[in-house]
Amino acid sequence: MTHHNRIRTKVIARKNAPNWMVFSILALAAVLTVIAGVSRAESDITISHGISKFGELKYDADFTHLDYVNPDAPFGGEFSTWAFGTFDSMNPYITKGTSAGSSSIFVESLMVGTADETGSVYGLIAETIEYPEDRAWAIFNLREDVTFSDGTPVIASDIVFTHNVFLEKGIPSYRAIVGAQIATVEALDDYTVKFTFTSPSENNDNLFLAAGTPVLSEAQFADRDFAESTLDPILGTGPYILEELDIGKRLTYRYNPDYWGADHPINVGQNNFEFIRFEYYADPTAAFEGFKAGQYLFRTENSSQKWAQEYSFPAVENGWVVTEELANGNIGQAQGFYYNLRRDKFSDPRVREAIGMAFNFEWSNRTLFFGLYARVDSFWKNSPLEAMGEIPADELAILEPYRDQLPDAVFSEPVYSPPVSGENQIDRGVIRAAGKLLDEAGWTIQDGVRKNAAGEQLTVEFMIRSPLFDRIVNPYIENLERLGIVATNDRVDTSQYVERTRSFDFDIMVTSYANSLTPGIGLRQYYNSENAQVPSRNIVGLENPAIDALVENILGATDRDELNLRTRALDRALRALHIWIPQWFKEVHTVAYWDVYEHGDVTLAPYALGANSWWWYSEEKAAKLAAEGAL
């Protein structure tokens, strides 16, 4: 009997378990390509169990489990953590409502990535993919044992329905990207679905776009409007079903004892918890107190102040709570204050640069962050995709055709990094240099404040939703006031934050551009002009033909070295445009958890923490804490 068969027996033995509908996740993000470990059905047709952006797949077709999991991990217990804010929807694929942060976490796609490769996906709902040399189309051969959580089979028409309903009623940026690349999706029979692309391609990005298609049930929406916000979960194929929902307070998911993929090699050693619970808090301080009291048991700590000063409470001292710094092999994500370029006052890059210069990272890191962070100044920090120093000849050759569409600094100065400020909160030299830029841009001091020729004041409003950012934004505002800028801190609740982001009703907001070590079609969602005026990942509203062209240039890369070079050129150009005020990153996951969880060698899975998946619950440790009165 296999490990997951033992799991299934154990869960079925649970009495009177409620029968809930399941919701699924959109795994559209990993956009990767090219094939290895293949067999040939015809001379020009490739058939494979997976696809890779460049080179060989790590796992052969007959792999038994992923290297970073424990295939003998025990099943059971509960993984519990916290979430910020509230929600009023369980449909994350539409623009209406505020969806629960976890409501898209369990939808399955045709193929899925792993945590130890940056450019590969493997068949999940699809057993194999086949495509011709010119990649004009892709056929996915579905597994015949895949079922939705209500027991109904997944067939090709469900994939066709999902594609079409997303194009018709889904998130606009999805329509813009997918609709431009995929011409048709058709069911050849119940277990074969064909994607025909708008044009042939020399690379595999379109294959990855198709492979990331999620799978929803057509039958579920026979009498339900997909576009309407609802708390009824989406019916999916994933391993968990909804156990409990309490708006703004709690979401609990339960492992589905009839999950079709329990013994699939990519799932062995994963999905080890019987329950996954999210406790919602409107205030981060209350959330931390809840963790200390054992209301939930796992926490990724994002506050450097808390990590440095507040993890000495009794449960830590008694050994009941473990604190760890675990390796994080991801790039330094592009976290920062991002401008809304749709507003005229931010149209001049000199204005944006000057405002950014007033943020004193060095003082903040020393005074507020206890020296735990490094400055992020690249969109691909700490990776081979990060532009460095003076422009080299190979990057210049890529950027030269767009000289008239990019700032002169791209070609005449080292790649932009924010100035290093001194020990004091206000670095007078940096402030003077920023003031000179504002003067040159036509924003001069008039009656003690910055005004343009029309007499309009230069105002800046920071839209944030966490009170933890008050201690960061408020000193920044003081520095801006020294420049004559009228700046304010506007903290809003989650619902307002979501709505104002969608309607572009902000000056500057805090967010992160989650770039990849293997960038692909997803770049269009973040940087392309076509997504600037619709709700999308192009938060700032960037519209620049040179950036559009550089993105397309990356998509045409044929090997890893070419991809890295072309991405460095894009990074150099983006940084010169000053669309953000870079913040900070750290190279480790800082986590705390009550000592009931165990994990294997996390360095084997450098690109994800996986705490609610390939970690596991220790009954022995839980019993020990219970005996000591800890929980």
Helices 560-577, 545-555: axis angle to 10 degrees equals 160
What three-state secondary structure class fits 48?
A: strand
Quick check: 507 and 580 in contact, CB under 8 A? no
Q: Which of 344, 214, 274, 354 is nearest to 80 (CA)?
A: 274
CA distance 211 to 540: 29
Pairing of strands 486-491, 321-327: unpaired
- Residue 505, CA atoms < 13 Å, CB-side half-sphere: 9
Do you know the residue count of the chain? 631
CA distance 125 to 236: 12
Quick check: 508 and 339 in contact, CB under 8 A? yes
Pick the CATH number of 334-585 from 3.10.105.10, 3.40.50.10070, 3.30.460.10, 2.60.40.1220: 3.10.105.10
Q: Give the pLDDT of residue 33.
A: 33
* Residue partners of 334: CB distance under 8 A and separation at least 6: 376, 378, 379, 380, 381, 512, 513, 514, 515, 580, 582
Q: Give the pLDDT of residue 410.
A: 98
Low-confidence ranges of the chain (pLDDT < 70): 1-43
Q: Which of 233, 272, 219, 259 is nearest to 79 (CA)?
A: 272
Amino acid at the residue 3: H
Amino acid at the residue 394: D
Q: Give the pLDDT of residue 78.
A: 98
Q: Give the pLDDT of residue 172.
A: 83
DSSP conformation class of 221: G
* Residue partners of 418: CB distance under 8 A and separation at least 6: 356, 357, 359, 361, 375, 377, 581, 582
Strand partners, 338: 509, 580
Pairing of strands 39-42, 449-451: unpaired
Quick check: 425 and 478 in contact, CB under 8 A? yes
Quick check: 534 and 353 in contact, CB under 8 A? no
Q: Give the pLDDT of residue 8.
A: 30
CA distance 398 to 394: 7
Q: Give the pLDDT of residue 587.
A: 85
Q: Give tens-digit pLDDT for 80-139.
A: 999 999 999 998 888 888 888 888 888 999 999 999 998 899 999 999 999 999 999 999
Amino acid at the residue 305: Q
What the block records as the tokens of 242 is 């909804």
Q: Give the pLDDT of residue 185.
A: 98
Pairing of strands 120-123, 321-327: unpaired
In order, the DSSP letters of 1-23 are --HHHHHHHHHHTSTT---PPP-
CA distance 235 to 24: 6
Strands (E), 370-469: 374-375, 444-446, 449-451, 459-464
